[in-house]
Amino acid sequence: MSGLLEPTLYVIKGIAILDNDGNRLLAKYYDPSVFPTVKEEKKFEKNLFQKTHRANAEVIMLDRLTCVYRSNVDLFFYVMGLSHENELILVSVLSCLYDAVSAILRKNVEKRTLLDNLDIIMLALDEICDGGVPLETDPQVVTQRVSLRMEESPFNDQTVTQVLQSAREQLKWSLLK
């Protein structure tokens, strides 16, 4: 039997974001033949978390899947492909996911902020992978496509800081007078 890789767009079998207890925050699996039900998915996640939460080794093979992963504080990001998939493609998807999330959360890559911005993170995940096909791998493009709220609202963080800054300046001057 030939071991050549299938020429297909469907290279991603799953993407998951888990918290530091191994609970699912967000997960998507694209191939029902890999995990037929949610029960198997969650069992796999528990197992995956057990094997990966201590060693930060970036790649592991588990249940006939190649999983690349990355973690920060209390969040674990995973991208899964078939066991013989080109790992470097998976890693490029993983870095896109991580960098996009990091940009959306303004570098506060933690569970709390992630949950506060869950709607945007969901949209980002949807922009990165569509039904198993990597849709976009450039984190900047992904953030552009989803971070709509910032442009919309007149008071984004930047301006709030600026307002405070100027208020402080004014106060300082008034005290000096």
Partner 1 sequence: MMSSFKQIKKDEEEGGGNPYHSMDKTSVLQEARVFNETPVNVKRSTHVLTKILYLLNQGETLATKEATDAFFAMTKLFQSNDLVLRRLVYLGIKELCTVAEDTIIVTSSLTKDMTGREDQYRAPAIRALCRITDATMMQAIERYMKQAIVDRAPGVSSAALVSCRHIMKDSPDVVKRWVSEVQEALSSDCVMVQFHALGVLHQIRKSDKLAVTKMVTKLTSSGLRSPYAICLLIRIVARLIEEDEVGADSRLFDFLESMLRHKAEMVIYEAANAIVTLRKSSARDLAPAISVLQLFLSSPKPTLRFAAVRTLSKVAMTQPNAVTACNLDLENLIQDVNRSIATLAITTLLKTGSEGSVDRLMKSISSFLNDISDEFKIVVVEALRALALKYPRKQAVLMGQLADMLRSEGGLPYKEAIASTIITIIEDNPEAKEKGLDHLCEFIEDCEHTTLAVRIIHLLGREGPRTRQPARYIRFVYNRVILENAAVRAAAVSVLAKFGAQCESLLGNILVLLQRCMMDTEDEVRDRATYYHAVLATRDNALINQYILNPPQFALPSLERALVQYLRTDTSGPFDTRTIPTAPPPQEEKKTPNIMEPAPRPVERIIPTHEKYAEQLAAIPHFAHLGPLFKSSAPLELTEAETEYMVRCIKHTFQKHIVLQFDCTNTLNDQLLEAVSVVVEGDGWDIEASLPCPSLPYSQLGSCYTLLPIPEDIMATTGTFSATLKFKVRDCDPATGEPDTDEGYEDDYTLEDVEITVADHVQRAARSNFAAGWDELGATNELEDTFALSAMTTLEEAITQITQFLGMHPCDRSDRVPEGKSAHTLYLAGTYRGGHEVLVRAKLALADGVTMQLTVRSDDPEVSEVIASAVG
* Residue 154 engages partner 1 in binding (rule: CB under 8 A): no
**Binding to partner 1 (CB under 8 A): which residues in 29-48?**
38-39, 41-42
Residues 90, 83: contact at Cβ < 8 Å? no
Is residue 97 exposed (0-12), middle (13-18) or buried (19+ Cβ within 10 Å)?
buried
Rounded-to-integer distance, Cα 16 and Cα 41, Å: 10
Among residues 49, 109, 130, 157, the one that binds partner 1 under rule CB under 8 A:
130
Q: How far is the CB of 141 from partner 1 (least distance, A)?
A: 8
Task: Write down the least CB distance from residue 107 to partner 1, Å.
Answer: 19
51 lines the binding site for partner 1 (CB under 8 A): yes
Nearest distance from residue 95's CB to partner 1, in Å? 10
Query: Between β-strands 75-82 and 14-19, what pairing exists: parallel, antiparallel or unpaired?
Result: antiparallel
Note whether 123 binds partner 1 by CB under 8 A.
yes
Q: State the nearest-atom distance from the C-beta of 101 to partner 1, in Å.
A: 16
Choose, by CB under 8 A, the member of 112, 140, 164, 171 that binds partner 1.
112
Phi, psi of 72 (to 5 degrees): -150, 130
Q: Which residue's CB is nearer to partner 1, number 4 or number 175?
A: 4
Contact set for partner 1, span 157-176 (CB under 8 A): none
CA–CA gap between residue 33 and residue 149 (Å, rounded): 37
**Cα gap 52→30, rounded to integer Å:** 22
- SS3 of residue 177 by DSSP: coil
Q: How far is the CB of 65 from partner 1 (least distance, A)?
A: 9
Angle (CA) 54-73-83 rounded to 5° is 50
Sign of CA dihedral 11, 13, 19, 20: negative
Contacts to partner 1 by CB under 8 A: 1-9, 19, 21, 23-28, 38-39, 41-42, 51, 55, 57-64, 68, 82-84, 86-92, 111-112, 115, 118-120, 122-123, 126, 130-131, 133-138, 141, 145-146, 148-149, 152
